[in-house]
Structure 1
Amino acid sequence: MTIRLPRAGGGLYAYEPRSRPAPSAPGGPPLTSRTVFSAAHVVADPYADGGPGGPAAVDWDATLAFRRHLWSHGLGVAEAMDTAQRGMGLDWTGAAELIRRSAAEAKAVGGAIACGAGTDQLPPGPRSLAEITEAYEAQLALVEGTGAQAVLMASRALAASATGPDDYLEVYGHLLRQAGRPVILHWLGPMFDPALEGYWGSAGLDAATDTFLELIAAHPDKVDGVKVSLLDARREIGLRRRLPTGVRCYTGDDFNYPELIAGDDQHFSHALLGVFDPLGPLAAGAIRVLDTGDVPGFRELLDPTVGLSRHLFEAPTRFYKTGVVLLAWLAGHQTHFTMVGGLHSARPLPHLVRAYELADGLGLFPDPALAEARMKNLLAIHGVDQ
């Protein structure tokens, strides 16, 4: 069987999909050498009467089933993060319901879960530090009330309101002092969200890093780890070498994750990655190889996935969720390619075609024939005849 795929510049070419997926089996021993979270996407309800700008309509059964899929492979779930379209189709009301449901499901199956706490219930624009702190407090209380670990997410409101580093230290310091258990601090770069430009009170990343580390040094017992999403391996390596003992670095670098997780002769990174949504079984298998101390074997498994990840996260990076959901549909984890907020239209057809080809080459589809049939349906909608 072949499928005719369109070229970016026009014309079609014949592609022969794999006939079998790459070997993979759920379960296995717990992951031991690294703490690994997959940020997970939400499955939209395709029959809901909604659209861009309206409340998110979520298919809860399919959304929770996908989380059980990740837990079955030993991965933790990072919930209500940007992969779940937080702030890009999923508002705080929807995120709060997602956190409640996923945390309950995690308890039921014994899965690890960490959930994002931010300030997205606030209207856009500058706010007072007191309002921002209060918004953070409300979300932190909800997350901790479910029993989940909190991820303190970057705040658009704080980025729009802070006058300098001291404002960040004040707000975050207050939150860390009252947190019931150690949290994960999330530094999300502007390539993922342009509204976060100049976070930590400085346009320069060196000064911003110093402020970030000053906060952590003042509250090391309240910081489980930091999630860094700057797509800069050198900077992440420098940061993790300066972290206090016992504070983890969770890589959020979807361009350089194999080398960062493998580490060097001094330190390594744990992981909290959006790309582990489509890579879940393969990623878990690679970590289990790393658990045995076989770094070359780990790299042999995970290095070939970087091409797909770099494609999914290419600029504009914030639209990577479209490719993630496409692959979930092609893999059979959901029955449709529809996203909350209409974000399934955020990437052009050639981008989606290339994502399919790269994922098929890695053997990510449990049923390659199903993926091929669904891809042909998508192409037909765009006027590509087979």
Structure 2
Amino acid sequence: MRLTKRLYIHEVLDGQRKHGFLYWTVDLFLIALILLNVAAVAVETLPGWSEAYGLRFFALEAFSAIVFTVEYALRLWSCVEDRRHDYSHPLWGRLRYALTPLALIDLAVVVPFFLSFLVPIDLRILRLFRLLRLLKITRYSPALMSLGAVFRAESRSILGAMMLMTIAVLIASTVMYLLEREAQPELFGSIPEAMWWGVVTLTTVGYGDVTPITLLGRVFGALVTVLGIGIFALPTAILAAGFAREIGKHDFVVTVARVAKVPVFSHLEPVTLAEIAALLTPMHAPARYAVVRRGEETEALYFIVQGKVEVDLPHGSVDLGPGEFFGEMSLLEGMDRRNATISTLTDCQFLVLQVPDFHDLVDRLPELKDRIAEMARRRAGEVRFADDKAAGDGETAADAAERKAHSED
């Protein structure tokens, strides 16, 4: 695809060019401007500040409105380049984009400034819309984007919990109205008045401004307080479970990307990569750490994602780096014990495949076993060649391996 100016602007604004200087410049500038606007809204309310620095506050507001208007216009102009959504139509595509939540926020934070020149607008309303600019920062915060994804995914569960909470408040308020209306008509004279007590008690806040005084009212109040702990904890539990799933999805995507970079898996289809990723466990090891030792029980196959390891064989040693693997000989030859010690030379990241999962995988994908065996034989041949050459030159195998590693670097 030819990179046009419109496509380039879309990729910069949409965060698809995160390694470019312009992306980071625009990103940081907009984030700083949003935070500066929020701080200005708060500082402007200090006594005397609005009168003393009113012109500077207006200049900041005018500059921000112009910048955010230009940003909105560029997003609206370039949105037709978005291949992830159906915005390709020059009119209807832009209209669909303009009705998305983030685009509506972008519009809401600039329109009041220009409307204030046409019709008188209460200063408090203007401040409210200026505070909405804080919502724009969701574009630049992965954590807030994850929060939005969780709310969208768990919307039905959250709605169900809110309905349950509403029903609990109504029932508690109605019962307390019946129990306390004669003793405290000024506080529990109606169900709506009693609902303040119901909300405060069920949320376990307990301000103490409205409390039952009858025996039955106090007994029921204690029961409602205990029940409130469980009822109002539901949304928290739903959001926590949603965040756990969202993090799991992110970790899974990262693992799939790592698996695709391992040469032994690079030829596989995306569906197969996803199946393999579900079997692999990420592992971190510091430098000079013995991952496996000679004579230990064979438990797993290790794929190197990052870092270097040293394989200490009975006849010498060899270094392995990203994209390579170790532990395969014990599995391919059916050995119960390790025949080598593998230690990390640097901080390393591994993807670990346990023995049962390895056997299940190669049973389903025989070509994968052949590929692993072929790469293992090739590596063993290189080690033997290094040993023979080292013996002829009077070098040790370790010296030859070290010289080979230096020459590759």
After TM superposition, the score normalised by the length of structure 2 is 0.21
Question: Which of structures 1 and 2 has the bigger CA Rg?
Answer: 2
Q: Which has the higher helix share?
A: 2
After TM superposition, the score normalised by the length of structure 1 is 0.21
Q: Which has the higher contact order (CA 8 A, sep 6+)?
A: 1
